[in-house]
Amino acid sequence: MRHVLRLIVHCCKSLKYKKDNGLIALGEQEMSSIKDTVDKVKKLTAEKLSLLAEIEELKRMANAKADTLVNEIATLREEIEEIKIMMGVEKQQPSSTEILRENNLKSAKELAEKTIASADKLVNQVFACAPFSQYFDDWLVNLRQIVSGFESNSPIKVDEQFVKDRSQIFLDVEGTLAQKKTEESAIGGVAKALADNNHLLVETDKEYAEKASELSLKRGSEVERLTFRVHELERDMESQEDSKNRMFKKRTPEKLAQTKLDLENAKHDLEMAQQNFNAEQDKLHDHYEKKKQEITEKLDSLRKELSMLETDTTIQARQAASKALANAINDLFQRTSSTA
């Protein structure tokens, strides 16, 4: 409709500016054609509305028919059930024995889940401090109480296989705990050895410092003495070589030669003394470093050993026991269910 109105407006605007009579006549023909088109559009719109009304009526009738069919099906089902009852083919109710068996299995399963949860909570218990063996007895007692509670309260009777599995679980975990207890008995000795080696390291440092200081004093004294001797001979030689003492020199030429020889010997002695002291210092230092390294390696080994002893390494074995216990209970439940 909007398109048609726009077309009319456009035509009117066009006619406004037409001055030729022939064009005006043509515009009147176009207006007549547009009017016919508008009438056709109105007619089609009315037909569309009529068709939509018919479709809605058909939908309403179809929904009503579907509701009727649903009611009829429900009625037929009720009639079939009544016929079954009349013919004695109604569903057989479970016997009291079957109901009791199902209830027992349900109760046993609930108890099994509760037992497994309690065991998991127990095995994940973190022991406070070393020695951890102080907690082992109480832990084993608690685990035995959990298993005993399951065996005595379970609606299903434990079989020989479960007793065998349970016994093996306790044997395994008790063996691990006993081994850890034996290892922890060495904690005191390891701790003492660690303290002794720490003391030895301190004493080694002290001993080296004292010997190094003593050697340094000895070196300083000897070097000072030899240096003084060298300086004394150098001054004596300078005095003998002085031009003012030529007469003295002529009278004692052999003394100057002896002084030079003594000076060379004194310098040699000084050099050798320094070399000897350096060698002795290196030897002392090497001996100290070797001994210190041995003590340090021993300390590292003792610290590592003590750390292992002060670490609860039984958690893996306790977790394995919990997993094995859960498997044994589940296996028992499966055997009971399959034979019931």
Tell me what the pLDDT averaged over the chain comes to: 78
Q: Which residues lie closer than 8 Å to 269 by C-beta, 6 or more apart?
A: 226, 229
Share of the chain above pLDDT 90, in %: 5
Angle of CA points 285, 290, 291, to nearest 5°? 100
pLDDT in tens, 246-287: 555 454 667 888 888 888 888 898 899 889 889 889 998 999
pLDDT of residue 248: 52
pLDDT of residue 119: 82
Question: Do 177 and 199 share a structural domain?
Answer: no
d(CA 242, CA 255): 14
Confidence of residue 19 (pLDDT cuts 50, 70, 90): very low
Question: Do 207 and 136 share a structural domain?
Answer: no
Q: Is pLDDT of 11 > 60?
A: no
Are 97 and 145 contacting, i.e. CB atoms less than 8 angstroms apart? no
pLDDT of residue 293: 92
Q: Which is higher by pLDDT, 168 or 123?
A: 168
pLDDT in tens, 138-184: 888 888 888 888 888 877 788 899 899 989 998 998 888 888 888 77
Question: Do 191 and 172 share a structural domain?
Answer: no
Are 325 and 116 contacting, i.e. CB atoms less than 8 angstroms apart? yes
* Long-range contact set of residues 81-90: C-beta below 8 Å, sequence gap at least 24: none
Torsion angles phi and psi, residue 312, rounded to 5: -75, 95
Question: Do 46 and 80 share a structural domain?
Answer: yes
Question: Do 112 and 69 share a structural domain?
Answer: no
Torsion angles phi and psi, residue 27, rounded to 5: -65, -35
pLDDT in tens, 31-78: 777 877 888 788 888 887 888 888 878 777 877 777 787 777 878 777
Is there a domain that residue 58 lies in? yes
- Residue 184's closest CA among 130, 247, 234? 130
Question: Do 124 and 71 share a structural domain?
Answer: no
The count of structural domains within the chain is: 3
How many helices and strands (H and E) does the chain possess?
A: 9, 0
**By residue range, what is the domain housing residue 68?**
2-85
Q: Which of 28-32, 91-95, 99-103, 115-119 has the highest mean pLDDT?
A: 115-119
pLDDT of residue 73: 82
Q: What is the pTM of this model?
A: 0.43
